[in-house]
Amino acid sequence: MAEPHTQLRHRPRRLRQTPAIRRLVAQTRLHPAELILPVFVREGATEPIPITSMPGVVQHTLTSLVAEAKRVVDVGIGGIMLFGVPATRDATGSGADDPDGILNVALRAVRDAVGDDTVVMADLCLDEYTDHGHCGVLREDPRRGLIVDNDATLERYASVGLAQVRAGAHVLGLSGMMDGQVGYVREALDAEGFTDAILLAYAAKYASGFYGPFRDAVESTLTGDRATYQQDPANVTEALREVALDVAEGADLVMVKPALPYLDILRAVADVSPVPVSAYQVSGEFAQIEASAGWSDRDRVMMETLTSIRRAGASQILTYYALDAAACL
């Protein structure tokens, strides 16, 4: 009788024998060019301020931000996404479209420093600038009290988008989840001749607990949640509807956010989207990996999550690990 091993024709392990063989057959690769680094810039900061819930991440000064943007260029990172942390806030978020508002000042400084050598992106939202912390302006509803006014918010987004493009943003990240925001901002930009400005629509953005550390990072004043405008984690179909609407309204890129808890959504969107699909590995995903660092190999978990997000269909990944991951590649 033959030895058992001579009867085995199918040996998948053959293709796993050495690093070189595994490299040859790997189906998913990461590259710094498809990573986007989100960064925070704090109005009035004189030195970088650590963010307690996000170890290693800081609120930048204008000077340290520009240095970080140059590192992004040097390492070949695909893009940098700027978030502003203003010193004062008001009901309509007027700091967001003020040309002297922190994000617009920072966009000018970064664009002056990097030119077209990486892609400069701006978060287009109001939540960092409103005193109530919502992503739009509020209106009194007779039954529900204060609600986020969709259409009045669109006017604000158009004004913010114009200010950000004038300050030098290549890409506007529409993260507010208001209905019609992509089309409205597109029209406002085109009317002023900014037909080249690229719109990244946070199309499938879920009302997620994983944004917790970010609220700390931008000193958010929000009480309550964003469930009337961000998507219910239980749903798939509306993500596809949001993507279709955003593409019809002129989105150049669409995003799924958060990433790891929503890989099924990412795959479903990537299967049908006619435009590139990005995914955002958000603050809470980052914080969880950092928190478990003593119990698991942090770099390995970092690279495994990024590979998973890529494998599920993301063409670009926004991640606080962009520089760290690039160092491992």
Closest approach, Cβ 21 to ligand PBG, in A, equals: 37
Closest C-alpha among 73, 70, 69, 49 to residue 61: 49
Closer Cβ to ligand PBG, 60 or 226, answer by number: 226
Closest C-alpha among 141, 73, 65 to residue 106: 65
Amino acid identity for residue 296 in this structure: S
- Count, residues in the chain: 329
Closer Cβ to ligand PBG, 192 or 221, answer by number: 221
Closest approach, Cβ 128 to ligand PBG, in A, equals: 6
Closer Cβ to ligand PBG, 214 or 262, answer by number: 214
Question: CB–CB of 138/146 below 8 Å?
Answer: yes
Closer Cβ to ligand PBG, 118 or 230, answer by number: 230
* Active-site residue (options: 203, 257, 259, 260): 257
Closest approach, Cβ 39 to ligand PBG, in A, equals: 11
Closest approach, Cβ 293 to ligand PBG, in A, equals: 18
User: What is residue 206's DSSP assignment?
Assistant: B
User: What is residue 39's DSSP assignment?
Assistant: E
Closer Cβ to ligand PBG, 214 or 321, answer by number: 214
What is the separation of C-alpha 46 from the centre of its chain, rounded to a whole number of angstroms?
Answer: 26
- Return the half-sphere exposure (C-beta side, CA atoms, 13 A cut-off) of residue 104: 19
Site residues, ligand PBG (CB under 6 A):
123, 125, 127, 135, 175, 211, 214, 226, 282-283
Q: What burial letters (b/e) apply to 227-256, b meaning 16+ CB within 10 Å? A: eebbbeeeeeeebbebbbbbbebbbbbbbb
* Active-site residue (options: 132, 170, 205, 226): 205
Q: What burial letters (b/e) apply to 41-79, b meaning 16+ CB within 10 Å? A: bbbebeebbebebbeebbbbbbebbbebbeebeebebbb
Element of type H or E holding 211: none
**Number of residue whose CB is nearest ligand PBG:** 214
Closer Cβ to ligand PBG, 220 or 273, answer by number: 220
Is 257 an annotated catalytic residue? yes
> What is the C-alpha separation between 38 and 20, in angstroms, rounded?
33
Question: CB–CB of 271/313 below 8 Å?
Answer: yes
Closest approach, Cβ 25 to ligand PBG, in A, equals: 34
Closest approach, Cβ 328 to ligand PBG, in A, equals: 21
Closest approach, Cβ 327 to ligand PBG, in A, equals: 21
- E strands, the chain, are 35-42, 49-50, 58-60, 79-85, 119-124, 138-141, 145-148, 171-174, 198-205, 253-257, 277-281, 316-319
Closer Cβ to ligand PBG, 92 or 175, answer by number: 175
> What is the C-alpha separation between 312 and 212, in angstroms, rounded?
24
**Residue numbers annotated as active site:** 205, 257
